[in-house]
Amino acid sequence: MKRLSYLPIVALFIMLYCSCEQNNADQGSKLDNVVTNAATDVTPFSVTLNGTINNFSVADISRGEYGFLYIVSKEIDELQAESVFKEYVENGSSSECKKKVAIALLENNNFNIGLSGLNPMDNIYYCAMFITKDNKILIGNTEKVSLIEFSPKLKSAVIDSVTLMNSTITITADFCNATSKECSTGIIYSLNEEELLTTGVKAEYSGKIEDLENDTYTMDISLLKAGKTYYYKPYIYYKTRQEYYYGDLSSFTTLDPSTVAVDLGLSVMWASCDLGSMVPTEPGLKFAWGEIVPKKTYTQENYRFTLDEFKQLGDDISGSEYDAATYYWGGKWRMPTYAEWMELFELTVTETTGGVPIPLKENWFYSICRYRKDNVYISMCWGTYYQKGTYGEYGESYGHLASTKDYSTGYDFSVYGGFKQGLMLAYDGALIRPVCDY
């Protein structure tokens, strides 16, 4: 009886096994070497893709390149995406998909990448990829992840404080992991509730949304009119779709200026603080003569009026549309005239650093010129004179505006190009201490 030889059969199995292994290496192993894992951290605008490399040492992996092939599309399905990825393996590139390389290998040969700048409800087809040191491209299974819808929520907008011209509001929202690249946020406010969303003023938060702690931020709303009720809503603006999301309607009322009026027994009542301040010893906002909006810098170039327009304003703007005190405080509040400044100086006294009262008219060139009586504090002298020295302990020089522009004599107006307003130039910035008629 002849013995059967099994060597040819064994050899055949070995050849078939090697052939299969070679095909897997050439085409990319989907089950063993490279694994595409489920996506994590899915938001409306970003996602993290995860993968694993098996059967390779850390040293071998570090000599190669690993990351992901991906397609962002709502027009294809998973089979089409897989076909594109196979094309990449065969040709080493594809115009229909993108590649992003991972920065570092994680524990157990895991790796990931983050995709951002996406749009809500986008479909992302992806597969993990490893290019060996021999430039063989191995890919994992194809997976799909869909980004979630963008549904932000404005939870609350709480008033922290209200003054004559300012309000501080703290807003808490759910930004759905959006960043400042995708969204902006802030407050819209108006004196007219019905026209809030059409003509309201938008005050945008200047910080970065992604840096907020607990999605909470604080807004300071300034240049409000005193004694008025304002209606407001917090908002989130989605830039790509140009859509606004609004919170609940709320309101606040600024303080009435009567709370700072002081009767000194003069022809008018004086405010106990500057326009734009609530504290008698702190400076308020600076205004150029005839302007109602404060600025960071004051030059002839950014002055609201030309020389001819300046001349046409007349000699006294007290109570007019060019009077910032009237604009913000309303009612009978206005800028003081030169005569009213002089009345204050003639009939009141100052406190010097030594505490000895001196008539104000005899002390207006004093290095620290102050007047204190019944909580009224005037710094730096009358009118628009810009005295050299300090504003108390604040280290700046300040002057106060008068509403009249012809009270100064003996100066050559021509050297200032005609923009002379008292003892300084009309386009310079100075403080306003409002007065009120009885």
* Predicted local distance difference test score (pLDDT) of residue 1: 46
Clarify whether residues 41 and 132 are in a common domain.
Answer: yes
In a domain, 2, yes or no: no
Of 138, 135, 136, 133, which Cα lies nearest the Cα of 62? 133
Of 273, 387, 285, 383, which Cα lies nearest the Cα of 338? 383
In a domain, 289, yes or no: yes
* Predicted local distance difference test score (pLDDT) of residue 384: 34
pTM: 0.74
Q: How confident is the model at residue 262 (pLDDT cuts 50, 70, 90)?
A: confident
Total domains in the chain come to 3
Clarify whether residues 212 and 347 are in a common domain.
Answer: no
Question: H-type helices in 171-233, by residue range?
Answer: 196-199
**Which H or E run contains 212?**
none
Name the DSSP class of 225: P
Alpha carbon distance 369, 365 (integer Å): 7
Mean pLDDT of 255-268: 90
CB-CB contact of 115 with 109 (8 Å)? no
> What is the pairing mode between strands 269-271 and 261-262?
antiparallel
Clarify whether residues 97 and 158 are in a common domain.
Answer: no
Q: How confident is the model at residue 314 (pLDDT cuts 50, 70, 90)?
A: confident
* Residue at a domain's end among 253, 276, 299: 253
Instruction: Tell me the per-residue pLDDT of 269-309, one tens digit each, with 9 for 90 and over.
Output: 989 888 999 887 778 898 988 999 999 998 889 999 888 88
Clarify whether residues 431 and 311 are in a common domain.
Answer: yes
| Percent of the chain's residues with pLDDT above 70 | 75
In a domain, 13, yes or no: no
In a domain, 14, yes or no: no
Lowest-pLDDT range of 86-95, 130-139, 150-159, 379-388: 379-388
In a domain, 5, yes or no: no
Dig out the tokens for 87 from the structure: 């094309």
pLDDT averaged over every residue in the chain: 81
Mean pLDDT of 356-384: 44
- Concatenating the DSSP letter of every residue in 301-356 gives TT-SS-HHHHHHT-SB-TTSTT-HHHHHH-TTEEPPPHHHHHHHHHH-EEE-TT--
* Residue at a domain's end among 253, 272, 305: 253
Instruction: Tell me the per-residue pLDDT of 377-432, one tens digit each, with 9 for 90 and over.
Output: 555 433 333 322 222 333 344 467 777 764 333 222 333 344 444 456 778 788 88
Clarify whether residues 425 and 348 are in a common domain.
Answer: yes
Number of neighbours of residue 347 by Cβ within 10 angstroms: 14
Of 316, 319, 317, which Cα lies nearest the Cα of 332? 319
Clarify whether residues 217 and 129 are in a common domain.
Answer: no
Domain that holds residue 351: 257-438
- Concatenating the DSSP letter of every residue in 25-69 gives HHH--TTTTEEEEEEES--SS-EEEEEEE-SS-HHHHHHSEEEEE
Of 426, 317, 430, 420, which Cα lies nearest the Cα of 378? 430
Clarify whether residues 112 and 236 are in a common domain.
Answer: no
Clarify whether residues 315 and 424 are in a common domain.
Answer: yes
Residue 62 Cα distances to 127, 128, 133, angstroms: 19, 16, 9
Clarify whether residues 99 and 185 are in a common domain.
Answer: no
Mean pLDDT of 66-79: 94
Mean pLDDT of 362-384: 43
Mean pLDDT of 348-367: 48
Mean pLDDT of 224-231: 98
> What is the pairing mode between strands 143-146 and 123-131?
antiparallel
CB-CB contact of 127 with 67 (8 Å)? no
Dig out the tokens for 274 from the structure: 């500057």
In a domain, 169, yes or no: yes
In this predicted structure, the answer to whether residue 369 has a pLDDT above a threshold of 90 is no
* Predicted local distance difference test score (pLDDT) of residue 163: 96
Clarify whether residues 77 and 195 are in a common domain.
Answer: no
Mean pLDDT of 33-38: 96
Number of neighbours of residue 339 by Cβ within 10 angstroms: 13
Mean pLDDT of 228-232: 98
* Predicted local distance difference test score (pLDDT) of residue 374: 47
In this predicted structure, the answer to whether residue 30 has a pLDDT above a threshold of 50 is no
Clarify whether residues 230 and 270 are in a common domain.
Answer: no
In a domain, 1, yes or no: no
Residue 243: CATH number of its domain:
2.60.40.10
Instruction: Tell me the per-residue pLDDT of 173-205, one tens digit each, with 9 for 90 and over.
Output: 999 989 999 999 999 999 999 999 999 999 999
* Predicted local distance difference test score (pLDDT) of residue 175: 95
Alpha carbon distance 273, 329 (integer Å): 12
Clarify whether residues 232 and 307 are in a common domain.
Answer: no
* Predicted local distance difference test score (pLDDT) of residue 299: 85
* Predicted local distance difference test score (pLDDT) of residue 315: 80
* Residue at a domain's end among 253, 271, 294: 253
Distance of CA 388 to the CA centre of its chain: 36
Of 53, 29, 34, which Cα lies nearest the Cα of 107? 53
CB-CB contact of 151 with 87 (8 Å)? no
Alpha carbon distance 358, 356 (integer Å): 6
Of 21, 112, 24, 28, which Cα lies nearest the Cα of 67? 112
Task: Show the beta-strand stretches assigned E in 345-385.
Answer: 349-351, 357-359, 370-373, 376-379
In a domain, 7, yes or no: no
CB-CB contact of 224 with 190 (8 Å)? no
* Predicted local distance difference test score (pLDDT) of residue 347: 66
In this predicted structure, the answer to whether residue 25 has a pLDDT above a threshold of 50 is no
In this predicted structure, the answer to whether residue 433 has a pLDDT above a threshold of 50 is yes
Q: Kindly report each contact of residues 348-355 with a partner whose C-beta sits within 8 Å and lies 24 or more positions away, as own/partner.
A: 348/264, 348/373, 349/373
* Predicted local distance difference test score (pLDDT) of residue 132: 94
Lowest-pLDDT range of 228-237, 258-267, 339-348: 339-348
